[in-house]
Amino acid sequence: MHDSWKRGFTHLPAHSCVLGFFLPFLVWTPLVRFVRGLGDTGGELRPYQKIYVFYRAPAVKYTGTCISLFLFMLLYSYVALFSFRFVGWETIICTSQQQQQSMLNLPDGSIKSPSCLSTAGSPS
């Protein structure tokens, strides 16, 4: 299980996964050690092959997915808490009814609405 989880690596600490996910050039440093004999001729890996092996490893894929999900949830929570403006159900219903009238080219008054399409001075 451990070999398939860190496929192609002899040493891959968690901090190297996170840093390498954002800064790919760190894959060429001693932070990450690859299995010998993975190259084209059975020797060392070339730089582009190291990046390929790094991003194809299940441990790195899982780390990247977790980081992406965390950032998405952080952004979603911020938007839901601070940027969401509720306009009210009546506005939403009236807007959708007005759009229905304009899309179907119905004459005015054919779709009854509560108070949103009435004039301001009319008695209720």
Residues in the chain: 124
Can you read off the two tokens belonging to residue 10?
A: 């002899």
The pTM assigned to this predicted structure is: 0.59
In a domain, 92, yes or no: no
Supply the range of the domain harboring residue 52.
2-83
Ordered per-residue pLDDT tens for the chain, 124 residues: 466 666 777 778 888 888 888 888 888 888 888 877 777 776 788 888 888 888 888 888 999 999 999 999 998 998 888 876 666 666 666 666 666 566 555 555 555 444 454 554 445 4
| Domains of the chain: total | 1
Question: Residue 59, Cβ neighbours under 10 Å: how many?
Answer: 18
